Structure 1
């Protein structure tokens, strides 16, 4: 039961364990010595830098070396660079120096040295330079050009460093019309459509209109409804038509349905193209609760019924209370999800087969997840947390605490270089045994690195170590502001656990910030004053405003915490549009939420609430209230 949201994430230890650290008073003094040495390194005075380095006794001493070599990757420093790259190979210290060194070698046109120090990388500029130098120094053309082909066949523009090798590649005849078309398709469908005009000019003149057609479909999917645009009804036009109609079904389903009937007559679509269209139509129409959803769901061949489609097949049948249909569809299928099992049991109950339903719910009730807690509530059973106590050998904890990666991560955290600290943590985890990772997680938890610990436990698939996976982080602040906002403490904990995994510096692509992932606009609305980004990264401010926002959403939704939770994720106005005119059971409504992210969000938050609720010594099941709850406009 874990759901990791895509976030970008910018401390007391065991008294009985000797952690490699500094005393409370010495910390600032020692770190100041490091920062002073780093500043000298960046100044460029080699004599002063060497002297400062000699005097420094600090776990971040390699970072002083890195600072100097990264900023001054002179050829005269090759010996130092070579040693540094050898010693810190694979660590977060290696790549910044190697990258700077390769760029310098490229600038100085040192081909042999560049090849010597190059390592495979996702950096296209360096990779292109490497391939170009290899070719110039006599590497077999066929081996190099295949790699160039892979670099060229992407749906975005590549850096200018690739121009020279691309020019050679093109002159040797590797830029075929088929490859141009392939790249144009990638740019139109998944990449940067601004690349299309350039690729258009590389196509034969008679195919220029195809690039224009793709560009049009990308900008305005309704263009797929204009049959006059498809002049030849050939294979390439059919690809564009399928692409356009699959985009249109999400924008204007009725226009797409009318257009599809005409397109099917005009084009001789392949079986694969038709099945691809059926699948997208089924998903779109089911999520929109369209009257033709069932027809399209049934058109999708069973071999294409993946988890996503099965979810919407279930939602569609739940919408019409098709209990026999659910039984017929899901009975006998392997690897059913917990949700499918729950609703299959519900269908059996609705069909009068209570013993069969209870048997399935009893099995689910042993699980620590949303459906397990719902099943326990239906059977009036206590919830099961599947709790496993964290027991780790103290000697192993001592060993990990002294590992260079951990020591560096801790020191970096202490000087607020959180990103670098996380890189060292990732290096430590990636180079450790399973037991060592668990020991590191225990240490990280004591340092309040909860987000790192939660991710690590998920990677280890150790889901039952609840002490590490569900910490009562920042407990004083959460208790204070939950009480002030008159909301349940477990709710604010669960929201934060789901939103940021308790990383104070978390931020999302949508601009949400901090522990409870607040948008600056939301913070301003709640506080009635502008709140800076820096303030939102402060746990006190974030928890205060996040708790107040939860309280506000609860009032807006007339005390309904399910709707308030959905609103926290998707927005109040969007959720209000999802409310049915006729009252429906809350678990049925949750299952029909059209946004998968919000649907999973509500389930996870309430499951997390129950975990916290039970771990705080409460014996009741919060899901009991959901059994009788109805949702209605």
Structure 2
């Protein structure tokens, strides 16, 4: 709990004022005169706590009274018996000028849905079309109408893209109203092409579609392929029965390969009867097999390629997968497969890994040759320019390399900073603040979406606030998106400032794009755990863009995206996700974890940042098996694309924050001198028994 927020929240002056107003307000509501005062205390406490925790940079609060009434009405709309909701209407309409008023209207409509309210619902959906307050309402309304058989109202309100169940319902209603079913049935194909079982509402529609001759073997095989690729083999037996006997073996082949991709090497599954269909199965299976067992994939390729069943795109898919997998495993065959895959029309990542493999092998002339063979547009990307310069330097062509480094050094990115370090020049941050025009910024602040976002932030409903901010950005002219970024920065909504500047493409406002958010807390934790403050801020900037309540798909939470298990390991006690949403706690665990990784990995910022993203055990697996590798070459060979990008970003951000904090530091010169040790440097800690790098 932040300073100034006591346990007895309603005992402060504002809290008492709020409570008195709330009691008066509640007594005006019919049927609520006996509402328990302790409920009011709870609501008041919740409100005051939220109010105390908002950004200190927010503008003056002009809606405190309306917000209190909103909270009470919101709760009443959710809990009162439906028959008494009309009694709230006067109080609801009394908040018509409050930014969150539409959300009360929506709650009212959701609780009172009936055919009598059709005009109100449709008017609301029209008035707030595309706005967050309307999200999901049409879906709920249509489900209500369908459940009660109101077909005309349903078709009047239905819109495309409402999901399989409602789409099947709509098409079924349309079929009942036409003597010519063909135009309606042509809309069934997209519903059929699903790897999952469709809702029961679709069964009559599919039956009509089939009886009209629109189900063909190709359409059935296509759905089998989709199901197999989604690992849903349960529906394949049903689909197999829809095929003529001449095609049923394709269902068996898809099912077998989906279960075990190594079965692509079982040639009896592929009698070459329907070569196009079999080639699709083999392409998918060999590609998957390549990532598990590249040599087995090579065998399959050698078996089927001579049969000339693969299209050119299919060959590219297979060759790419084998080449990249062999490269990641550093197999001797990688040379051959990279040459085979790196042809015109190949994906860009083939070229990238071709160069990376040659870097690891230190075949510098081949690096130059492969880059020179790339298309001109690709050659101009910063990574290829850096590596060509690096290769030329290694080949002794220092003058040409220096010219290329100098050009790169003007760019504000990882490769630009590395190039600067290689020629001992100061990196160029190119900071140009976005112009601040008061009238333009104020215009953004006054928009209804901004006002709604602000209210949700004050209520600590960050998800709803971000929805409103996204809606704001999506509806602003490009010329005003930067103004929105300036406003978000000034209000301390740093994640939305970062997003707004990225959307506008205004990259040169370095200070606003890399804010010194929560600086005092970072200072405290960095000093306590002896971790570079700039490094910790760089990690947080990359992890969450300073979004306090960020949650990743795998459950990492808060500013520094800590997994609860990691926090519990450090704390030696249970740590809840809500704890990780507290800035102080999250930074404590996050910076402490950086210290833990630093101790394990000799304080190497490259290995620590890679470990923060992918896990230290995985990073130890990636250490070179032979001799040590230069840092830049090792980074370029990190197997995970996400981790590769992450490490480059964190290192660049670290330098930016070193500059922002006024530190006379630069991480990059040391990186040009350091090497990543070989796996032989991994040892077992004598006390803990865990793996770690041996001290340098």
Which range, TM-score by smaller chain? over 0.9
- Quote how far apart the aligned CAs of 1:213 are: 2.2
Q: 1:31 to 1:191 in 2, by over 3 A?
A: farther
Contact 2:231-2:258 within 8 A present in 1 as well: no
- Quote how far apart the aligned CAs of 1:221 are: 1.3
Provide TM-score, normalisation by structure 1: 0.92
Contact 1:368-1:386 within 8 A present in 2 as well: yes
Higher relative contact order (CA 8 A, sep 6+): 1
Structure 1: unaligned runs, 5 residues or longer: 1-10
Aligned partners of 2:162, 2:509: CA distance in 1, in Å? 36
Match status 1:323 vs 2:359: no
Contact 1:233-1:267 within 8 A present in 2 as well: no
Q: 1:532 to 1:13 in 2, by over 3 A?
A: closer
Q: 1:123 to 1:624 in 2, by over 3 A?
A: same
Match status 1:241 vs 2:282: yes
- Quote how far apart the aligned CAs of 1:146 are: 2.5
- Quote how far apart the aligned CAs of 1:301 are: 5.5
Contact 1:584-1:630 within 8 A present in 2 as well: yes
Aligned partners of 1:328, 1:600: CA distance in 2, in Å? 25
Quote the residue 2:633 is aligned against.
Answer: 588
Counterpart among 321, 325, 336 of residue 280 in structure 1: 321
Match status 1:562 vs 2:600: no
Aligned partners of 1:567, 1:343: CA distance in 2, in Å? 25
Contact 1:71-1:100 within 8 A present in 2 as well: no
Quote the residue 2:72 is aligned against.
Answer: 36
Counterpart among 499, 514, 520 of residue 476 in structure 1: 520
Aligned partners of 1:14, 1:434: CA distance in 2, in Å? 26
Contact 2:342-2:351 within 8 A present in 1 as well: no
Contact 2:534-2:661 within 8 A present in 1 as well: no
Aligned partners of 1:434, 1:14: CA distance in 2, in Å? 26
Q: 1:136 to 1:512 in 2, by over 3 A?
A: same
Aligned partners of 2:560, 2:88: CA distance in 1, in Å? 43
Q: 1:334 to 1:13 in 2, by over 3 A?
A: farther
What SS does structure 1 have at the residue aligned with 2:288?
Answer: helix
Quote the residue 1:418 is aligned against.
Answer: 462
1:402-443 deviation digits (Å, cap 9, x = unpaired): 111111111112112222211111111111122332222222
Match status 1:137 vs 2:177: yes
Match status 1:334 vs 2:372: no
Match status 1:512 vs 2:556: yes
Aligned partners of 1:215, 1:71: CA distance in 2, in Å? 47
Aligned partners of 2:575, 2:661: CA distance in 1, in Å? 33
Quote the residue 1:50 is aligned against.
Answer: 89
- Quote how far apart the aligned CAs of 1:268 are: 4.2
Contact 1:390-1:467 within 8 A present in 2 as well: no
Contact 1:40-1:52 within 8 A present in 2 as well: no
1:238-297 deviation digits (Å, cap 9, x = unpaired): 332232222111112222223332334567444443333112211211122111111011
Quote the residue 2:621 is aligned against.
Answer: 577
Structure 2: unaligned runs, 5 residues or longer: 1-53, 679-696
Aligned partners of 1:205, 1:542: CA distance in 2, in Å? 61
- Quote how far apart the aligned CAs of 1:389 are: 0.6
Aligned partners of 2:433, 2:231: CA distance in 1, in Å? 47
- Quote how far apart the aligned CAs of 1:447 are: 3.2
Bigger CA drift: 466-475 or 329-338?
329-338
Aligned partners of 1:140, 1:372: CA distance in 2, in Å? 65
Match status 1:253 vs 2:294: yes
Q: 1:558 to 1:95 in 2, by over 3 A?
A: closer
Match status 1:485 vs 2:529: yes
Aligned partners of 1:606, 1:562: CA distance in 2, in Å? 8
Contact 2:139-2:162 within 8 A present in 1 as well: no
Aligned partners of 1:512, 1:294: CA distance in 2, in Å? 39
What SS does structure 1 have at the residue aligned with 2:132?
Answer: coil
- Quote how far apart the aligned CAs of 1:234 are: 4.0
Aligned partners of 1:140, 1:422: CA distance in 2, in Å? 47
1:169-191 deviation digits (Å, cap 9, x = unpaired): 22212111110111111222256
Q: 1:266 to 1:137 in 2, by over 3 A?
A: same
How many matched pairs? 616
Quote the residue 2:434 is aligned against.
Answer: 390
Q: 1:456 to 1:130 in 2, by over 3 A?
A: farther
Quote the residue 2:584 is aligned against.
Answer: 540
Quote the residue 1:608 is aligned against.
Answer: 653
Contact 2:434-2:506 within 8 A present in 1 as well: no
Aligned partners of 2:606, 2:342: CA distance in 1, in Å? 36
1:527-556 deviation digits (Å, cap 9, x = unpaired): 111111111122211111010001100110
Aligned partners of 2:502, 2:232: CA distance in 1, in Å? 34
Aligned partners of 1:142, 1:415: CA distance in 2, in Å? 52
Quote the residue 1:622 is aligned against.
Answer: 667
Contact 1:105-1:113 within 8 A present in 2 as well: yes
Provide TM-score, normalisation by structure 2: 0.84
Aligned partners of 1:87, 1:554: CA distance in 2, in Å? 55
Aligned partners of 1:122, 1:600: CA distance in 2, in Å? 36
Quote the residue 1:3 is aligned against.
Answer: none
Contact 1:278-1:299 within 8 A present in 2 as well: yes
Question: Which has the larger Rg?
Answer: 2
Bigger CA drift: 329-338 or 497-506?
329-338
Aligned partners of 2:179, 2:167: CA distance in 1, in Å? 15
Quote the residue 1:8 is aligned against.
Answer: none
What SS does structure 2 have at the residue aligned with 1:173?
Answer: coil
Quote the residue 1:90 is aligned against.
Answer: 130
1:556-600 deviation digits (Å, cap 9, x = unpaired): 012212111111111111111111231221111111111111111
Aligned partners of 2:57, 2:179: CA distance in 1, in Å? 57
1:206-225 deviation digits (Å, cap 9, x = unpaired): 43332222122122111222
Contact 1:13-1:446 within 8 A present in 2 as well: no
Aligned partners of 2:309, 2:163: CA distance in 1, in Å? 42
Aligned 1:122-133 pairs, distance under 5 A? 122-133=162-173
Quote the residue 1:373 is aligned against.
Answer: 417
